[in-house]
Structure 1
Amino acid sequence: MRTQQALQESRRFGVKPIPLLRPLGWLARGLADLRRCPGPSLAHGLVMAAGGSLIFWLARERFWLLAGAFSGFLLVAPILATGLYAISRALERGERPGWSTVLRAWRPHDGRLILFGLLLALAGSGWVLTSASLITVFAPGAITKPLDFVRQVVLSEQSLLFEAWLGLGALLAAPVFASSVVAIPMLLDRRVSVLAAVFTSWRVVLEHPAPVALWALLIMGLTLIGMLTLMLGLIVILPLLGHASWHAYRDLVSGKD
Structure 2
Amino acid sequence: MPNRYTEQALRQSRSFGVRRIPLLRPLGWLARGWSDLMQCPVPGLVHGLVMALFGGALFWWAGQQFWWLAGALSGFLLVAPVLATGLYAVSRALERGERADLATAMRAWRPTDHRMIAFGLLLALAGTGWVLTSAALITTALPGRVSQPVDFIRLVVLAEDGALFGAWLALGALLAAPVFASSVMAMPLLMDQRIGVLGAVFTSWRAVLTHPAPLALWALLVLTLTALGMATMMLGLVVVVPWLAHSSWHAYRDLVRSVGDLG
Per the normalisation by structure 1, the TM-score is 0.94
- Alignment match, 2:115: 112
Indicate conservation of the 8 Å contact 1:72/1:127, yes or no: no
- State the Cα distance separating 1:147 from its structure 2 match: 2.5
Establish whether residue 169 from structure 1 lines up as the match of residue 172 from structure 2.
yes
Alignment of 1:125-164 (within 5 A): 125-158=128-161, 160-164=163-167
Output the CA distance in 2 between the equivalents of 1:186 and 1:230.
32
- State the Cα distance separating 1:59 from its structure 2 match: 1.4
- State the Cα distance separating 1:143 from its structure 2 match: 2.2
Unaligned runs of 5+ in 2: none
Q: Over residues 183-214 of structure 1, what are the superposed CA-to-partner deviations in whole Å (9 max), with x where a residue is unaligned?
A: 11001111111111100000000000010000
Q: Tell me which amino acid in the other structure corresponds to 2:19.
A: K
Cα distance 1:190–1:256, how it changes in 2: closer, same or farther (>3 A)?
farther
Q: Over residues 53-105 of structure 1, what are the superposed CA-to-partner deviations in whole Å (9 max), with x where a residue is unaligned?
A: 12211211112432343233212221111011111111111112112112211
Alignment of 1:42-57 (within 5 A): 42-57=45-60
Output the CA distance in 1 between the equivalents of 2:212 and 2:259.
24
Q: Over residues 222-249 of structure 1, what are the superposed CA-to-partner deviations in whole Å (9 max), with x where a residue is unaligned?
A: 1111111111111101110000000000
- State the Cα distance separating 1:114 from its structure 2 match: 1.6
- Alignment match, 1:224: 227
**SS, match of residue 108 in structure 2:** helix
| Structure 1 residue ranges, 4+ long, deviating more than 6 angstroms after superposition | none
Alignment of 1:1-257 (within 5 A): 1-158=4-161, 160-255=163-258
- State the Cα distance separating 1:131 from its structure 2 match: 2.3
Report how many aligned residue pairs link the two structures: 257
Output the CA distance in 2 between the equivalents of 1:92 and 1:77.
23
Q: Tell me which amino acid in the other structure corresponds to 1:98.
A: D
Output the CA distance in 2 between the equivalents of 1:159 and 1:248.
36
Q: Tell me which amino acid in the other structure corresponds to 1:108.
A: P
Output the CA distance in 1 between the equivalents of 2:33 and 2:250.
7
Report % sequence identity.
67
**SS, match of residue 165 in structure 1:** helix
Deviates more, 1:150-159 or 1:9-18: 150-159
- State the Cα distance separating 1:256 from its structure 2 match: 6.6
Output the CA distance in 1 between the equivalents of 2:186 and 2:246.
14
Output the CA distance in 2 between the equivalents of 1:247 and 1:236.
17
Output the CA distance in 2 between the equivalents of 1:41 and 1:121.
23
Q: Over residues 105-137 of structure 1, what are the superposed CA-to-partner deviations in whole Å (9 max), with x where a residue is unaligned?
A: 112232211211111111122222222333333
Output the CA distance in 1 between the equivalents of 2:54 and 2:171.
25
Per the normalisation by structure 2, the TM-score is 0.92
**SS, match of residue 22 in structure 2:** coil
Q: Tell me which amino acid in the other structure corresponds to 1:218.
A: L
Output the CA distance in 2 between the equivalents of 1:232 and 1:71.
18
Unaligned runs of 5+ in 1: none
Indicate conservation of the 8 Å contact 2:64/2:149, yes or no: no
Indicate conservation of the 8 Å contact 1:64/1:135, yes or no: no
Q: Over residues 11-35 of structure 1, what are the superposed CA-to-partner deviations in whole Å (9 max), with x where a residue is unaligned?
A: 1111011111110000000001111
Q: Tell me which amino acid in the other structure corresponds to 1:69.
A: A
